[in-house]
């Protein structure tokens, strides 16, 4: 599959085996309830893939440490890249790892910053099979206590949602950058189900299951909900051809942020945007200014 085709294919379709998507489609027709539980297990299971070449330099040079988050007793792997006292926290997206924003980290290092990033529970080198956004949020608060305060926080996709939520919950930093960040949890579950050939009824049952399981309306963690209580300078970056997170999310989040700048790209998709020169230059300029 060429790069253009990959950019036009949602990550669930790229990484989930066909037999699993076929199973989901059949279950969706036979029993929406059973299908919703099947989907819920998949939804909490990060995809695994080989370390890309673009991330190997950071993986080799960063100081790495495996630590336990006291609140949850779950383990993460921390990457310390550079030794400048001006630190920036990087938060990867779902199924990503601490080196996912490697090109951004390398550019920031050249500009005189060091970065702290991490493999969230069940991601990258961190142990476990299941994970969720709450694990990302707990990890960010833990790293803020251990390495903060940070000059800025940069989050991609789910990492962007976690970034907004942690600031809402009290994390102090000077600036935020969110890239390809979704707005609605309900929308995420529906897109997930659709990519697995399941219908909206299954998606809504899955979301209701999570609400009950975690005793909270998961939509309260949606990007725009958290953004309403964020007043620090925020750069919202999104590609208009992002097939994993629709461009509408960027506008919805930008609209409710008190102090934000919107940067829209074209033809970079959800993942390639992290290595684009113009995007990286925009980020470093925004943080340094």
pLDDT (tens digit per residue) in 163-177 = 999 999 999 999 999
Between 139 and 202, residue with greater pLDDT: 139
Flag whether pLDDT at 105 surpasses 60: yes
Flag whether pLDDT at 109 surpasses 70: yes
Which is nearest to 72 in space by CA: 146, 135, 123? Answer: 135
Flag whether pLDDT at 194 surpasses 90: no
Confidence of residue 30 (pLDDT cuts 50, 70, 90): confident
Q: Where are the domains of the chain?
A: 57-184+222-288
Flag whether pLDDT at 137 surpasses 80: yes
Helix 133-147 to helix 158-168 angle (10° resolution) is 60
Whether the Cβ atoms of residue 233 and residue 175 lie closer than 8 Å to each other: yes
- The C-alpha atoms of residue 144 and residue 204 are separated, in whole angstroms, by 34
Confidence of residue 13 (pLDDT cuts 50, 70, 90): low
Q: How deeply is 18 buried, as exposed, middle or buried, from its count of CB atoms within 10 A (0-12, 13-18, 19+)?
A: exposed
Could you read off the pLDDT of 46-56 as tens digits, one per residue?
A: 988 889 999 99
Confidence of residue 283 (pLDDT cuts 50, 70, 90): very high
Could you read off the pLDDT of 227-273 as tens digits, one per residue?
A: 999 999 999 999 999 988 999 999 999 999 999 999 999 999 998 99
Helix (H, G, I), strand (E, B) or coil at 81: strand
Mean pLDDT across 47-70: 94
Sign of CA pseudo-dihedral 257, 172, 221, 265: positive
Show the tokens assigned to 278.
């113009």
Could you read off the pLDDT of 141-162 as tens digits, one per residue?
A: 999 999 989 999 999 999 999 9
pTM comes to 0.92
Partners of 63 in beta bridges: 80
Q: How many residues does the chain have?
A: 289
Q: DSSP label at 259? A: S
Flag whether pLDDT at 9 surpasses 70: no
Flag whether pLDDT at 287 surpasses 60: yes
Candidates 3.30.499.10, 3.40.50.1580, 3.40.50.1820, 3.20.20.80; CATH matching 57-184+222-288: 3.40.50.1820
Which is nearest to 192 in space by CA: 70, 19, 15? Answer: 15
Flag whether pLDDT at 71 surpasses 90: yes
Exposure letters 107-129 (e unless 16+ CB within 10 A, then b): bbbeeebbbbbbbbbbbbbbeee
Flag whether pLDDT at 2 surpasses 90: no
- The C-alpha atoms of residue 26 and residue 13 are separated, in whole angstroms, by 17
Average pLDDT in the chain: 91
């Amino acid at each position: 599959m060429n790069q253009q085709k990959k950019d036009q294919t949602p990550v669930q379709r790229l990484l989930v085996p066909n037999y699993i998507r076929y199973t989901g489609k059949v279950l969706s027709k036979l029993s929406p309830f059973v299908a919703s539980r099947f989907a819920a297990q998949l939804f909490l299971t990060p995809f695994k893939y080989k370390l890309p070449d673009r991330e190997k330099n950071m993986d080799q040079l960063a100081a790495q440490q495996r630590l336990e988050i006291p609140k949850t007793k779950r383990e993460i792997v921390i990457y310390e890249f550079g030794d400048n006292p001006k630190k920036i926290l990087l938060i990867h997206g779902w199924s990503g790892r601490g080196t996912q924003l490697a090109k951004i980290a390398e550019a920031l290092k050249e500009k005189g910053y060091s970065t702290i990033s991490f493999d969230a529970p069940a991601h990258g080198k961190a142990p476990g099979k299941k994970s969720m956004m709450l694990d990302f949020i707990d990890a960010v608060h833990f790293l803020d206590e251990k390495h903060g305060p940070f000059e800025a926080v940069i989050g991609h996709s789910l990492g962007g949602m976690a970034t907004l939520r942690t600031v809402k919950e009290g994390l102090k930093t000077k600036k935020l950058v969110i890239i390809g960040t979704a707005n609605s949890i309900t929308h995420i579950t529906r897109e997930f189900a659709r990519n697995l050939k399941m219908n909206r009824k299954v998606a809504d049952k899955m979301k209701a299951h999570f609400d009950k399981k975690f005793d909270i309306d998961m939509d309260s963690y949606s990007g725009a909900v958290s953004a309403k209580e964020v007043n620090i300078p925020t750069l919202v970056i999104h590609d208009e051809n992002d097939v994993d997170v629709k461009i509408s999310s960027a506008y919805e989040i930008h609209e409710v942020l008190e102090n934000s700048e919107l940067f829209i790209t074209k033809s970079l998709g959800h993942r390639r945007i992290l290595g684009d020169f113009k995007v990286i230059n925009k980020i470093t300029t925004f943080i340094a200014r």
